[in-house]
Amino acid sequence: MKDEELLVTQLKNPDTQEQAFRNLMSLYKERLYWHIRKIVLSHDDTDDVLQNTFIKVFKNIHSFKQNSKLYSWMYRIATNEAITFINKKAKTKNLDISELQYKMADDLQDDHNYSGDEIQQLLQKAIVTLPQKQQLVFNMKYFDEMKYTDMSEVLETSVGALKASYFHAVKKIEQFLKSH
């Protein structure tokens, strides 16, 4: 039995699930954290979304059919949780999602958990101008250097479409950087 299959079996067994869950978090917490952080930008918001993601994984592990890899399934949950979080925040503040994201990128300069220089901050402002799906593709490829095949499983999109999406995202960001 593979490690991942064993982990899933242990997660589904009440006697072993707490320890298995700790192992699961230990394995994926940093990768998921950085994936979420690129979407919601602030540490505090990332912490909330990460905790909700792991709780959702724990509660729904019995419905995981192992049709995809465990980490792909968890990435998908994390992505959905992060986007849902942004949508709710935008609704609460009565803002359009793109307006909120630009504000979040602009607020980075006052964030004590952010130390990026001017060009790093400009890059974040460029990313939030992209459509939601292109943002995800760019972050997962550019920062996480994820393989297209793995991205395909997480985002449930064909590899070809992902490559095209990444190419368009890069062009738009370059254009943004040149014009600012």
Partner 1 sequence: MKNKDLNKIAPKLSVISLSKTGFEIPKNYFDTVEDAIIAKLKADNLQNKINSKTFKTPKNYFDSIENIVIAKLKAEVILDKNENLDTIPIDYFETLENKVISKIKATPRVISLRRKFIKYVAPIAIAASLLLVFVLNNTPATVTFDSIASSEIESWIDNGNIDIDALSIASLYPEIELNDEMYSNSLTNEEILDYLYEENFEDIIYEN
* Interaction site with partner 1 (CB under 8 A): 18, 21-22, 25-26, 29-30, 33-34, 37-38, 41, 43, 47, 50-51, 54-55, 58, 108, 113-117, 119-121, 123, 141-143, 163, 166-167, 170-171, 173-174, 177-178
Closer of 62 and 91 to partner 1 (Cβ): 62
Among candidate residues 40, 66, 117, the one with its CA nearest the CA of residue 53: 40
Shortest CB 114 distance to partner 1, Å = 5
Nearest 5°: phi and psi at 171? -60, -45
Closer of 6 and 55 to partner 1 (Cβ): 55
Cα(169)–Cα(129) distance, rounded to whole angstroms?
Answer: 10
Closer of 30 and 156 to partner 1 (Cβ): 30
Shortest CB 94 distance to partner 1, Å = 27
Cα dihedral sign for 92, 93, 98, 104? Answer: negative
Closer of 95 and 170 to partner 1 (Cβ): 170
Distances (CA, A) of 119 to 42, 74, 175: 18, 32, 14
Q: Is 41 helix (H, G, I), strand (E, B) or coil?
A: coil
